[in-house]
């Protein structure tokens, strides 16, 4: 007899029998050890771990909806039924029906289907060039007066094909109207609160305390059904913004109460094709984290409808970040570099020859660049998750003879072309 083998067999039997007995009764040494480790963790680390696991799970499903196929579980998450999701008191987001990613020219990172711009009451392609110069008159001293009508209203908007968000809006759109003027103009904004909560308009600019649009200043928060006229002179020139400053601030901004405020220098800027892009995000299940990101609200709209531009022409983008819940957003341009004017308050670039810029919330600036060759050139946030969840688009750079066709492909015409060019902008600004 081989006593060594016999001894090994006996010892194996002695040690394995208790393990098999414990296993039969649901005991797992691995689970036991993991439990001991988890109980030894500080509570804050364990809570962070749980939050990360929940966020990864939720966003993984949503990415499947944007870049692949969304299933029943993903639809449930989008509609707010994910574990830990909080209900929105004044409405709920609706889960998409048939919301799935396509297979385009960039790895299928885009939505399938279309958003009904007619139902929304705004079109992201038109928003790029939709400048509001107000009604003009002249004071006895020769100063130009520009008057605007802004009203707050609750409205459900479609932010991706089949995905709806209960927004609070200025003039029924998100972002609100792009207010544009010239430095030194007298600005009068007649604000009516037709929403369901107290609201304000706070302008990033120079003005008296009473016109600051914050609680405790002037009229403070404008109650439902009430109105107020904000009046100030437009200083300094640059790329600015306005937003609601009612309490709680993060809710009023996230729900959609913001817009671009562009003040042109008196001498104007060099001729260019100009666009405004407001980077924003949407928390569709109201858990304090965004599930959709975009420029001008609609996920991947500029992937589906590439922005027409001409080879060799100067492109100028007024870029604003108003994203809530995320500390930083960004803009990255493919295949070219740009000059950047932080806040747009200088006539010389603050950054030269860069291809990526970061902005915190309410930071803004002006980008200028040219494309040298035809092609569809991508631009997007360089937080990859933001890009996959909607903040990504293309410029369709074509030769001059192909420009009319490029515009027709995305449903715009010569009037859109005229709005985008500085000569038309300067003419309107001097009216």
Q: Where are the domains of the chain?
A: 45-84, 129-429
Percent of the residues in the chain that have a pLDDT greater than 90, as a whole number: 72
Q: Which of 76-80, 105-109, 336-340 has the lowest mean pLDDT?
A: 76-80
Instruction: Enter the tokens of residue 409.
Output: 């492909």
Q: What are phi and psi of 332, to 5 degrees?
A: -125, 135
Predicted confidence band of residue 320 (pLDDT cuts 50, 70, 90): very high
Three-state SS for 309? strand
Instruction: Enter the tokens of residue 319.
Output: 């870029």
Q: Which of 102-111, 164-173, 201-210, 376-385 has the lowest mean pLDDT?
A: 102-111
pLDDT surpasses 90 at 30: no
Three-state SS for 132? strand
Average pLDDT over residues 1-29: 55
Residue 21: partners with Cβ closer than 8 Å, 6 or more residues away? none
Tell me the C-alpha distance between 293 and 107, whole Å: 18
CB distance 300 to 66 below 8 Å: yes
Tell me the C-alpha distance between 27 and 21, whole Å: 9
**E-assigned strands of 56-213?**
100-101, 111-112, 131-132, 135-138, 144-160, 163-170, 178-182, 186-193, 202-203
Among candidate residues 213, 81, 151, 365, the one with its CA nearest the CA of residue 72: 81
CB distance 153 to 194 below 8 Å: yes
Q: pLDDT tens, 91-148?
A: 444 433 333 333 344 555 677 899 999 999 999 999 999 999 999 999 999 999 999 9
Tell me the C-alpha distance between 330 and 324, whole Å: 13
The residues facing 193 across adjacent strands are 152
pLDDT surpasses 70 at 410: yes
Going by the DSSP 8-state scheme, the letter that residue 210 receives in this structure is G
- CB-CB neighbours of 187 under 10 Å: 23
Q: pLDDT tens, 375-409?
A: 999 999 999 999 999 999 999 999 999 999 999 99
- What residue has token string 């908007």? 157
Q: What is the pLDDT at residue 39?
A: 43
Three-state SS for 367? strand
Torsion of CA 159, 163, 166, 167, to 10 degrees: 0
CB distance 315 to 276 below 8 Å: no
Fold that domain 129-429 belongs to in CATH: Immunoglobulin-like (2.60.40)
Going by the DSSP 8-state scheme, the letter that residue 41 receives in this structure is S
Which long-range CB contacts under 8 A does 102-109 form with residues at least 24 apart? 104/303, 105/376, 106/303, 106/378, 106/392, 106/394, 107/67, 108/67, 108/68, 109/66, 109/67, 109/300, 109/303, 109/387, 109/388, 109/392
Task: Annotate 159-198 with three-state secondary structure.
Answer: EECCEEEEEEEECCECCCCEEEEECCCEEEEEEEECCCCC
CB distance 128 to 171 below 8 Å: no
Average pLDDT over residues 360-383: 98
């Amino acid at each position: 007899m081989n006593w060594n083998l016999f001894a090994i067999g006996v010892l194996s039997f002695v040690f394995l029998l208790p393990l098999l007995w414990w296993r039969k009764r649901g005991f797992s040494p691995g689970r036991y050890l993991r439990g001991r480790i988890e109980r030894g963790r500080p509570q804050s680390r364990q809570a962070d771990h749980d939050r990360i696991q929940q966020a990864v799970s939720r966003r993984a499903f949503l990415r499947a909806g944007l870049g692949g196929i969304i299933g029943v579980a993903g639809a449930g998450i989008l509609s707010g039924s994910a574990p830990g999701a909080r209900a929105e008191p004044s409405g709920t987001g609706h889960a998409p029906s048939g919301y799935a990613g396509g297979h385009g020219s960039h790895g299928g990172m885009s939505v399938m289907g279309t958003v009904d711009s007619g139902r929304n009451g705004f079109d992201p392609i038109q928003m790029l060039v939709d400048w509001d110069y107000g009604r003009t008159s002249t004071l006895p001293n020769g100063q130009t007066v520009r008057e605007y009508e802004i009203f707050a209203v609750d409205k459900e908007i479609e932010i991706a094909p089949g995905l709806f968000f209960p927004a609070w809006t200025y003039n029924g759109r998100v972002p609100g109207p792009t207010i544009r003027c010239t430095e030194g103009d007298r600005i009068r904004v007649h604000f009516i609160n037709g929403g369901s909560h107290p609201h304000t308009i706070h302008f990033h600019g120079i003005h008296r305390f009473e016109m600051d649009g914050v609680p405790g200043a002037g009229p403070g928060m404008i109650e439902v059904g009430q109105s107020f006229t904000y009046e100030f002179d437009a200083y300094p020139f640059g790329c600015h913004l306005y937003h609601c400053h009612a309490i709680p601030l993060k809710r009023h901004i996230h729900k959609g109460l913001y817009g671009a405020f562009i003040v042109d220098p008196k001498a104007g800027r060099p001729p260019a094709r100009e666009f405004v892009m407001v980077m924003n995000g949407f928390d569709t299940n109201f858990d304090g984290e965004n599930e959709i990101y975009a420029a001008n609200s609609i996920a991947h709209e500029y992937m589906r409808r590439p922005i027409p531009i001409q080879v060799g022409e100067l492109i100028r983008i007024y870029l604003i970040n108003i994203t809530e819940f995320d500390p930083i957003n960004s803009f990255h341009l493919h295949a070219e570099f740009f000059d950047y004017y932080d806040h747009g308050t200088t006539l010389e670039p603050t950054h030269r020859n860069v291809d990526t810029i970061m902005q915190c919330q309410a930071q803004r600036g002006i980008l200028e660049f040219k494309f040298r060759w035809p092609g569809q050139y991508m631009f997007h946030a360089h937080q990859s998750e933001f890009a996959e969840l909607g903040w990504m688009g293309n410029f369709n750079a074509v030769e001059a003879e192909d420009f009319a066709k490029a515009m027709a492909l995305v449903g715009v015409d010569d009037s859109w072309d005229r709005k985008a060019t500085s000569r038309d902008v300067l003419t309107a600004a001097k009216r």
